[in-house]
Each structure stands twice: as C-alpha cells, then as structure tokens.
C-alpha cells in the first residue's frame, strides 16, 4: 500500500491478501500497467498521448473499467482501487488484451483527487456501487460527501462530468444533496444514453438478486459564472 497523507474519509477496508499466483502476477504486471505510487499523475505522460481522460473510482474486479477501455479506445482510462485481487484481475486482462489505453492507480481515491492529479485534467469520473456503509454510525465513511466534492471539481475540465450508480436510496439522496449544496456550479441531469452501461458487476448482481432498485446520478461541471458588478 502506498503511503499517503491521512485523510478524514476512510471509505474502504483493506483486503490485501493474494494467492501465490496472484502475487506473482501482481509483481510482474504492476510496473508495466500502473501509475507511479507517488507524485503527480499526468495522463498525457502516463499514456504517452493527449486524449480525453476518464477515471473510475473503486472498480472492484474491474468489469466496468475493462468494458469502458474496450468501448472507448480513443479515451485514456484510469482506474483507482485499493483492493489488490481486483487490481491483479485488471492487470491480467490489460496484459492479455494489450489495452494501451487503461492504467491502474493503486491508492486511496481521496488522496489521488486531493493532490495527485493536475487541475482540470479529467473529462469524466465514474463510480459504480461505491461502498454504501448502510449503518448510520458508518455514514461518515461514505466517499461521496462534502469534503470530496471540491476535489472532484478541481480535477475536472469545464463541462466534465461525474456519474455514480448506487443501489442505496439513502446514499443516492445524500450524494444529490452534497453536489447540490457544493460551491461549484454542478448541474444534475439525466444520464446521457451514451453513458448507459449494461455490464453486470459483482455488486450489481448482488443488488439485483436482493431486488434493490438502482439510482443513477449524473452531474456536469459548468464553468463558473462571472458576475458583472
Ligand atoms: C462495493 S465495491 C464496488 C466495486 C465495483 N465498482 C462493482 O460495481 O462491482 C466498492 C469498491 O470501491 C473500493 N473503494 C472504496 N473506497 C475507495 C477509495 N477511497 N479509493 C479507492 N477505492 C476505494 C473498494 O475497495 C471496493 O472494491
């Protein structure tokens, strides 16, 4: 696990254990397809090309991340995760499919957005089924809450967007509220048809079998309004 400054939101539980095979894959593929563990991540340098960059936060086993990279070869796609078995799975597929437009960031998303991305360098951010922390006493561990939203805004280009899918109504309402009350001029809008993903992830399957509904949230970052006074 990389070292990083202490951040008020700790939205995940460390699950680092790997089998012997995963361990070998991790050590072999990590240097090839992963962003450096420290310092600024400049997408154009990492991918050796200038292109619109999309980030997925908390990709789990990587189903939607891989699908995004395959569907949009013209995009640079970055996945942030702290779950090592998921990272190994993605690295393995990136290697076998020779996906040159997908790289992994092994770090806490809160820290990455706090100080590891150049300002206004990202076009889109997606998060599928972020940990809902359903118990009331754990709500403080949810990632998408007030301190995190300005960090997302700073990293996004004007006109950039954030798409979040959750199966927890309470979390969906909280997310809408925090974007709504954030200082940045976010506009909530329906999910564009081009952004509808039919991919079934582990957590989507779990939600489907439990009969839970999905809440799809989409926010666009508008340019600041200049006041003529
Ligand atoms: C509920 S799982 C969802 C995984 C995947 N998106 C899916 O739909 O199957 C949430 C994932 O977010 C990751 N996660 C939570 N907080 C994170 C953070 N601050 N930085 C990076 N990853 C995080 C967890 O490790 C976990 O794999």
Known active-site residue 131: yes
Tell whether ligand 1 has an atom less than 6 A from the beta carbon of residue 11. yes
Residue ID of nearest Cα to ligand 1 atom 14: 58
The per-residue pLDDT for 3 is: 42
Mutate to test the pocket of ligand 1, among 64, 85, 131 (most ligand atoms within 8 A of CB): 131
The number of beta carbons lying within 10 Å of the beta carbon of residue 102 is 25
Contact by Cβ (8 Å): 156, 118:
no
The number of beta carbons lying within 10 Å of the beta carbon of residue 34 is 20
For residue 133, the SS3 value is: coil
Predicted confidence (pLDDT) per residue in 46-73, tens digit: 999 999 999 999 999 999 999 999 999 9
Mutate to test the pocket of ligand 1, among 11, 58, 109, 210 (most ligand atoms within 8 A of CB): 58
Predicted confidence (pLDDT) per residue in 213-226, tens digit: 999 999 999 986 55
Confidence of residue 148 (pLDDT cuts 50, 70, 90): very high
The per-residue pLDDT for 8 is: 64
Tell whether ligand 1 has an atom less than 6 A from the beta carbon of residue 60. yes
The number of beta carbons lying within 10 Å of the beta carbon of residue 133 is 18
Domain 20-36+52-221 indexed as CATH 3.60.10.10: no
Q: Could you give the CA distance from residue 97 to residue 99 in angstroms, rounded to a whole number?
A: 5
Cα-to-centroid distance, 126 and ligand 1 (Å): 11
């Amino acid at each position: 696990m990389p070292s990083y400054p202490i951040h008020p939101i700790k939205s995940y539980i460390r699950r680092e254990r790997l089998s012997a095979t995963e361990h070998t894959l991790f050590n072999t593929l990590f240097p090839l397809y992963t962003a450096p563990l420290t310092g600024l991540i400049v997408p154009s340098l990492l991918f050796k090309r200038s292109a619109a960059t999309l980030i997925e936060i908390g990709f789990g086993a990587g189903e939607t991340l891989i699908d995004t990279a395959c569907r949009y070869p013209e995009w640079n796609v970055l996945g942030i995760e702290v779950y090592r078995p998921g990272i190994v799975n993605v690295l393995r597929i990136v290697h076998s499919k020779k996906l040159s437009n997908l790289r992994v960031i092994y770090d806490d998303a809160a820290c990455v957005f706090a100080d590891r991305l150049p300002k206004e360098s990202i076009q889109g951010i997606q998060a599928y089924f972020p940990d809902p922390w359903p118990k009331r006493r754990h709500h403080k561990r949810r990632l998408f809450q007030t301190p995190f939203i300005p960090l997302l805004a700073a990293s996004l280009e004007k006109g950039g967007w954030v798409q979040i899918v959750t199966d927890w109504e309470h979390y969906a309402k909280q997310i809408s509220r925090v974007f709504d009350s954030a200082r940045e001029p976010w506009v909530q809008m329906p999910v564009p048809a081009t952004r509808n993903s039919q991919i079934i992830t582990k957590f989507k399957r779990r939600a489907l079998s439990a009969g839970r509904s999905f809440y799809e949230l989409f926010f666009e970052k508008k340019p600041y309004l200049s006041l003529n006074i």
